[in-house]
């Protein structure tokens, strides 16, 4: 049954990957080996997943499921990809709450928090490299840099919310994108 196959495929993708771009090779494998998509279509999903909200893995699951077997297909694939969150992470959540007051847990978290800061820095650098790439001096996009600067000011100085900032940035993109 196609729905079960989609569910199992994305369940495997979910359990063997750790978010973001690490999912692409796995998705590529599953889609091509089942004959659900061509590699051109896989490349297209990655581009489209970037344009819509939500993490890449979720967007790919919805897209692949819907193209293969309609809305029910999309739901089966989506359920597969979020299954690790529903099981493993839920157990981890209970574990984390139970041992929160534990001294060893506290010591481990002392080391884990800076790791998180380091990882966020890494994400920012990776995102900057694609989001501000353009033609200025051969490698920078000045409209993107300008929009980035404006976003930073409204966020930090005027305390705008994230949705409001994103809408402003989309508007500025429409205005400046032609330059």
Partner 1 sequence: MKKDQMARTMDVFKTFLKFGCFTFGGGWSIVAQIQKEYVEKKRWITDEELLDFTSVGRSMPGLMIGNASVLFGYHVAGVPGAMAALLGIVIPPVAIMLGVVFLYDLAKDNLYVARAMMGVRAAVVPIIFSALLKLFKSGMKDAACYAIALGALVLCLFVKLNNVLIVLLGAAAGLMIQEVRHRRDLS
Q: Among residues 38 and 128, whose Cβ is nearest to partner 1?
A: 128
Q: What count of other Cβ atoms lies within 10 Å of the Cβ of residue 38?
A: 11
Q: Among residues 4 and 109, whose Cβ is nearest to partner 1?
A: 109
CB of 2 to partner 1, least distance (A): 16
Q: What count of other Cβ atoms lies within 10 Å of the Cβ of residue 79?
A: 18
CB of 104 to partner 1, least distance (A): 7
Q: Among residues 39 and 89, whose Cβ is nearest to partner 1?
A: 89
Burial 95-116 (b: 16+ CB within 10 A, else e): eeeeeeeeeeeeeeeeeeeeee
Q: Among residues 1 and 125, whose Cβ is nearest to partner 1?
A: 125
CB of 103 to partner 1, least distance (A): 9
Q: Among residues 1 and 115, whose Cβ is nearest to partner 1?
A: 115
CB of 3 to partner 1, least distance (A): 15
Q: Among residues 4 and 153, whose Cβ is nearest to partner 1?
A: 153
CB of 121 to partner 1, least distance (A): 5
CB of 18 to partner 1, least distance (A): 5
Q: What count of other Cβ atoms lies within 10 Å of the Cβ of residue 144?
A: 20
């Amino acid at each position: 049954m196609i729905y079960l196959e989609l569910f199992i495929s994305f369940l495997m993708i979910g359990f063997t990957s750790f978010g973001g771009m690490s999912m692409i090779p796995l998705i590529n494998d599953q889609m091509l080996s089942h004959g659900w998509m061509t590699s051109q279509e896989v490349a297209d999903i990655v581009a489209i997943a970037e344009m819509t909200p939500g993490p890449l893995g979720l967007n790919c699951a919805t897209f692949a499921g819907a193209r293969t077997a309609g809305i029910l297909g999309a739901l089966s694939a989506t359920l597969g990809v979020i299954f690790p969150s529903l099981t493993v992470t839920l157990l981890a959540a209970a574990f984390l709450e139970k041992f929160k007051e534990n001294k060893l847990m506290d010591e481990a978290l002392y080391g884990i928090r800076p790791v998180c800061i380091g990882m966020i820095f890494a994400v920012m650098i990776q995102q900057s490299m694609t989001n501000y790439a353009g033609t200025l001096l051969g490698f920078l996009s000045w409209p993107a840099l300008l929009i980035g600067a404006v976003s930073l000011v409204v966020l930090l100085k005027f305390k705008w919310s994230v949705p409001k900032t994103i809408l402003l940035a989309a508007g500025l993109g429409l205005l400046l994108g032609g330059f």
